[in-house]
Amino acid sequence: MARQLNLILVGPPGAGKGTQAERLQSDFGLAYIATGEMLRANVKAQTELGMAAKQHMDAGGLVPDDLILAMTAERLEEDDTRDGFILDGFPRNLAQAGALERQLQQQGRRITAVLLIEVPDEEIVKRIAGRRVCVKNGHNYHVDYDPPKLPDVCDQDGSRLIQRDDDKPEVVQRRLLVYHEQTAPLISYYEDRGLLRRVDGMRAPGEVHDHIRALIATLLLEDSL
């Protein structure tokens, strides 16, 4: 089998994983597999797995590991993952990490690297809690990084700007708490296997991208020696 580039992106909400995933997709032609998108696609297509997951989602519960694992296994069999993939939002815990490792072994594949985009909690709160969206057409702003010309008024359609409920500081803090509880063991797990690579997420997006490309180039070079 040709050399694959199989990556896992780890980092808190608001760290810029989606932005970096888009750039890596473009750079290397990788399939981008985000847990949320995968769930929504299965629900929309009314697959057997999607309908089972929807029952848990409608009840306000978490989708069980076995359903997520089954969806991921199916997704990794699709043609666009042939040259590699980027996983975002999965695995979320040690049980999922172990199951993913076994799945890949059965396919004769392995993880190339786990990229941890590190951003301090206070910066994450600032990034997310500063977001504003207009009520009419959903135009996005940020009170510090991309403010409107007039406070709380959309530049493009004049409608009111609001803060989404899930962007409020107390909600972001809860999301961060869950992230740290779930992710801390994963960081140790992948670090012990020599797969973890740390990336400074406080840099500008272009600099973060350059750093990740340099890391990947080194990994590919080492693998070819």
Domain coordinates in residue numbering, the chain = 5-121+171-224
Distances in whole angstroms, Cα of residue 104 to Cα of each of 49, 89, 173:
20, 17, 34
Indicate which residue of 109, 175, 198, 203 is catalytic: 175
Stretches where the chain sits below pLDDT 70 are 1-2, 224-225
Question: How far is CA 45 from its chain centroid?
Answer: 22
Is residue 3 part of the annotated active site? The answer reads no
Q: How far apart are CA 41 and CA 108, in angstroms?
A: 26
Q: How far apart are CA 117 and CA 17, in angstroms?
A: 7
Indicate which residue of 17, 75, 132, 197 is catalytic: 17
Give pTM, 2 decimals: 0.87
Phi, psi of 112 (to 5 degrees): -80, -50
Q: Residues 6 or more apart from 123 whose CB is under 8 A from it?
A: 202
Indicate which residue of 75, 92, 126, 197 is catalytic: 92
Is residue 175 part of the annotated active site? The answer reads yes
- What CATH code would you report for 5-121+171-224? 3.40.50.300
Indicate which residue of 3, 82, 110, 164 is catalytic: 164
Sheet holding 140-142, edge to edge: 140-142, 131-134, 161-162
Q: What is the pLDDT of residue 171?
A: 92
Q: How far apart are CA 130 and CA 115, in angstroms?
A: 26
Is residue 131 part of the annotated active site? The answer reads yes
Q: What is the pLDDT of residue 167?
A: 93
Q: What is the pLDDT of residue 2?
A: 47
Is residue 75 part of the annotated active site? The answer reads no
Q: Are 215 and 199 in contact (CB under 8 A)?
A: yes
Q: How far apart are CA 215 and CA 24, in angstroms?
A: 12
Q: What is the pLDDT of residue 224?
A: 67
Q: What is the pLDDT of residue 190?
A: 97
